[in-house]
């Protein structure tokens, strides 16, 4: 149940009283107070009726991430980026961290192309257990050093609640991957952190499931959440690894205040389709792109066949920025 109070001050007082009464899962945004587990106004008789502007009983189950609770766009501030709203964010880096020199070189190329966030994996979710699983903490250290040297944000994937302290020691943004979108233990763990979380869509997740996964993070107190569409599973695996679901982007922009970015590298699966796929996402309203780059794609440790070269990245990012300016 969402209660719109006459002003932010009374809303603060309602929240304080709710906390005093130990009501579970009560949140505030400006003059709105949301009671995630209460469906009946009678349970809220402590609120002065005269201070209530409107009560909304029929709101999305994923309340905090909905525009019903939080009408304005969320804008997330990291050390080097503003994400969401009118901003347009570029994220690039190697799929896997390979060496200190390599991540630095890729970061430099990314920065030169306009990116402010340097991505890279040190813990890799590989389909097969015998594939390279990432360099672990050594990779985190090289990644951090490169980001610091370049004045960029570091973003890296986390796969287990047991890694939160270790990864959190280095990264600026936690990335939760598609396979872990409903790994609720992990969502709760990053929900307790104070750093932003980028949450990729599950391979066949519905909009409601995705927003509920984001709500898991928010319900623990961390509302700095970025959604990332990365292609959905479809029925033609001969020519397409995944299908970039551009149709979901305007839907999300309406339903949620969270930033919505896109990952054309995984959606496309092959280098030659990354650029058109990425531009399509931007034209549909994505507020940023994340891509994988490599200077020598055929020697990449992981997923080289979907990496863009630095030159291809410049072409994509330049066009993406232009298209964003047209559609925003």
- Beta carbons of 313 and 294 less than 8 angstroms apart: no
- Polymer length of the chain: 328
Q: How far is CA 95 from CA 34, 70, 294, in A?
A: 39, 34, 8
Give residue for tokens 């872990």.
Answer: 180
Please provide residue 271's backbone torsions phi and psi, each rounded to the nearest 5 degrees: -50, -45
If the CB atoms of residues 169 and 179 are measured against its own copies, the closer one turns out to be 179
- Beta carbons of 255 and 63 less than 8 angstroms apart: no
Interface pick for its own copies out of 1, 11, 15, 36 (rule CB under 8 A): 36
Please provide residue 23's backbone torsions phi and psi, each rounded to the nearest 5 degrees: -70, 140
If the CB atoms of residues 146 and 213 are measured against its own copies, the closer one turns out to be 213
Please provide residue 319's backbone torsions phi and psi, each rounded to the nearest 5 degrees: -65, -35
Under the binding rule (CB under 8 A), the answer on residue 37 touching its own copies is yes
What distance in Å separates the CA atoms of residue 81 and residue 74, rounded to the nearest whole number?
A: 13
Interface pick for its own copies out of 9, 61, 138, 151 (rule CB under 8 A): 61
User: Rg of the chain over CA atoms, in angstroms?
Assistant: 21
Give residue for tokens 């469906």.
Answer: 39
Q: From the CB of 49, what's the least distance to its own copies, in Å?
A: 25
Under the binding rule (CB under 8 A), the answer on residue 296 touching its own copies is no
* Binding residues for its own copies restricted to 64-123, rule: CB under 8 A: none
* Binding residues for its own copies restricted to 125-154, rule: CB under 8 A: 125-130
| Dihedral over alpha carbons 101, 102, 106, 108 (to 10 degrees) | 10
Q: From the CB of 249, what's the least distance to its own copies, in Å?
A: 7
Q: From the CB of 53, what's the least distance to its own copies, in Å?
A: 24
* Binding residues for its own copies restricted to 165-184, rule: CB under 8 A: 179-180, 182-184
Interface pick for its own copies out of 209, 295, 309, 314 (rule CB under 8 A): 209
- Beta carbons of 89 and 278 less than 8 angstroms apart: no
Under the binding rule (CB under 8 A), the answer on residue 212 touching its own copies is yes
Interface pick for its own copies out of 185, 192, 221, 296 (rule CB under 8 A): 185
* Binding residues for its own copies restricted to 8-27, rule: CB under 8 A: 25
Binding region for its own copies (CB under 8 A) out of 71-79, 92-100, 109-117, 156-164: 156-164
If the CB atoms of residues 41 and 164 are measured against its own copies, the closer one turns out to be 164
What distance in Å separates the CA atoms of residue 310 and residue 294, rounded to the nearest whole number?
A: 7
Q: From the CB of 219, what's the least distance to its own copies, in Å?
A: 4
- Beta carbons of 303 and 267 less than 8 angstroms apart: no
If the CB atoms of residues 27 and 102 are measured against its own copies, the closer one turns out to be 27
Q: From the CB of 79, what's the least distance to its own copies, in Å?
A: 28
Under the binding rule (CB under 8 A), the answer on residue 53 touching its own copies is no
Q: From the CB of 144, what's the least distance to its own copies, in Å?
A: 22
- Which sign, positive or negative, has the C-alpha torsion 20, 21, 27, 33? negative
* Binding residues for its own copies restricted to 225-284, rule: CB under 8 A: 231-240, 242-251, 254-255, 267-268, 272-273, 276-277, 279-284
């Amino acid at each position: 149940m969402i209660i719109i109070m006459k002003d932010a001050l009374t809303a603060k007082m309602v929240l304080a009283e709710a906390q005093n009464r130990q009501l579970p899962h009560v949140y505030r945004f400006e003059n709105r107070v949301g009671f995630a587990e209460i469906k009946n106004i009678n349970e809220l008789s402590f609120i002065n009726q005269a201070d209530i502007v409107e009560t909304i009983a029929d709101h999305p189950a994923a309340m905090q991430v909905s525009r019903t609770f939080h009408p304005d766009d969320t804008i997330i501030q990291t050390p080097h980026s503003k994400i969401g709203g009118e901003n347009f964010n570029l994220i690039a880096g190697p799929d896997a961290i390979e060496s200190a020199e390599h991540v630095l070189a890729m970061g430099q190329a990314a920065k030169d192309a306009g990116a402010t966030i340097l991505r890279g994996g040190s813990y890799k979710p590989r389909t097969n257990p015998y594939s390279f699983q990432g360099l672990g903490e050594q990779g985190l250290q090289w990644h951090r050093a490169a980001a610091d040297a370049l004045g960029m944000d570091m973003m890296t994937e986390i796969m287990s609640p047991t890694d939160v302290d270790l990864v959190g020691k280095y990264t600026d943004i936690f990335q939760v991957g598609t396979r872990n979108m409903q790994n609720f233990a992990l969502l709760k763990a990053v929900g307790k952190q104070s750093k932003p979380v980028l949450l990729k869509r599950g391979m066949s997740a519905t909009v409601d499931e995705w927003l509920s996964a984001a709500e898991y993070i928010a319900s623990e107190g961390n509302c700095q959440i970025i959604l990332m569409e990365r292609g959905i599973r479809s029925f033609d695996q001969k020519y397409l690894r995944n299908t970039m679901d551009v149709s979901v982007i305007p839907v999300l922009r309406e339903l949620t205040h969270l930033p919505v970015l896109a990952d054309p590298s995984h959606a496309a699966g092959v280098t030659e389709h990354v650029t058109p796929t990425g531009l399509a996402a931007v034209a549909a309203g994505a507020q940023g792109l994340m891509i994988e780059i490599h200077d020598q794609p055929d020697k990449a440790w992981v997923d080289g066949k979907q990496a863009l070269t630095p030159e291809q990245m410049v072409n994509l990012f330049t066009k993406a920025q232009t298209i964003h300016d047209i559609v925003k």
